[in-house]
Amino acid sequence: MSRIGKKPVQVPAGVTATVDGQKVTAKGPKGELFFVANDEVTVKLEDNAVVVEPASQSKDARSKWGMSRTMVENILKGVKDGFERKLEINGVGYRAALQGKNLQLALGFSHDVVYQTPEGITIAVPKPTEIVVTGINKQQVGQVAAEIREYRGPEPYKGKGVKYAGERIIRKEGKKK
């Protein structure tokens, strides 16, 4: 029995949710998102809440049950509040700046890295060593943050590079004489 799957997802105030077969659509102040559930689960709208149940008691249906409920919860939260991911830059001369809509990163290479911001994502640079990625799609926000981090991930000796805010880098000891 999925402990997450059996909880109904309450539709927040200011958001309208519609269920059309396997497709759940959410409209809110930030935009509109939809999720198409797998055929192994059934989705219903009852008492201003979205209820996800397995279509059968097969292992496959039960494994997709909790994930489908979480996806519905994420689209409802995304159209109401949105999601954000913060990145920090550590290192001498490492910095970020916005160049129009694109993100320009100086990460110790011989050239600046220019990251093209995808549609539906907003990137802000409050400080030269801080990047904030925001959007309504949780997967897309995480993907963009991971792509930016990938240019120069944190290294274990001095901790230089791009890391998530709050991420703990396990440090290694350097050479000894």
Q: Domain locations in the chain?
A: 9-80, 83-164
What CATH number labels 9-80? 3.90.930.12
Note whether 9-80 and 83-164 share their fold.
yes
Homologous superfamily in CATH for domain 83-164: Ribosomal protein L6 (3.90.930.12)
Over the stretch 140-170, which tens digit does the pLDDT of each residue have?
999 999 999 999 999 999 989 999 999 999 9
Report the relative pairing of strands 121-127 and 49-54 from DSSP bridges. unpaired
Over the stretch 10-69, which tens digit does the pLDDT of each residue have?
998 989 999 998 899 999 999 999 999 988 999 999 889 999 999 888 888 888 998 999
Backbone angles phi, psi at 104, to 5 degrees: -105, 125
Contact 18, 76 (CB under 8 A): no
| pTM greater than the 0.85 cutoff | yes
Q: Residue 40 and residue 38: Cα distance in Å, rounded?
A: 5
Q: Residue 134 and residue 123: Cα distance in Å, rounded?
A: 6
Q: Which of 156, 158, 106 is nearest to 131 (CA)?
A: 106
Contact 111, 105 (CB under 8 A): no
Q: Residue 76 and residue 55: Cα distance in Å, rounded?
A: 23
